[in-house]
Amino acid sequence: MRAATARVRGMSIVELMVGITIGLFILAGATTVATSQLGNNRRLLLETQVQQDMRLTIDLIARDLRRAGYWGHADYTVWPEDVDPNVGNRPLTVALGNPYAGLLPDSVEGGTTVQYKRSTDEDGGFAVVDENNVVDTGDVGGFRYNASDKSIEAKLSPTSWQKLTDPTVLLVTRFAITIVAEPADVPCGAGACPVLAPDGCPLKLVTHHATIEIEGEA
């Protein structure tokens, strides 16, 4: 007696090739989506880094510009002491001019360089003890755009500049500073100035409004 055997039919080569092809299409689609997602994430990270670097640069420039013209003896411009600190033993009859006053340029629209002076004689102190009323080497500052490597540089001394942005990370494509000077008369109370101003009475106060624009790419 012969036992009956069941015949099992497998996949043909054509069916196998069709299945593999469909699987490859699905895998290719998934790979494309994953690659696109990774690229978008990388682009988003770069954009975030560029924005953070530019925001930090603007904050540093704005903070330093606010110190432009700082003088530990600013009261000498309105109500000086009894003795001229630059001469000695001579009462002041004319208010002293601020040796750290002024921006270079004083007014500009879309400039790429700004320089200024400010007193650093009492940095970190609570009282004026070492103010010498003289613009020293460390009392100068400024910022400029270096078009050769697309970076922004900060002035450390009359002849020394240091990069504020890293061109290997951020390429600054545009750097512009607009400065508007607005002089105003200082009220003298009853109408009489306590001392004569360098340019006569009334005393003058000049405020500067600065607008900083930075554009960049990674």
The span from the CA of 104 to the CA of 88, in Å, is: 31
| Interval 121-133: pLDDT, tens | 765 455 545 677 7
Total-model pTM: 0.67
The span from the CA of 85 to the CA of 194, in Å, is: 18
Q: Show me where the domains of the chain are located.
A: 48-217
Q: What is the mean pLDDT of residues 136-149?
A: 88
201 pLDDT more than 60: yes
Residue 207's pLDDT is what? 81
By percentage, how much of the chain surpasses pLDDT 70? Answer: 73
Torsion of CA 87, 93, 99, 101, to 10 degrees: 180
Q: What is the mean pLDDT of residues 77-84?
A: 58
Under DSSP, the state recorded for 133 is: S
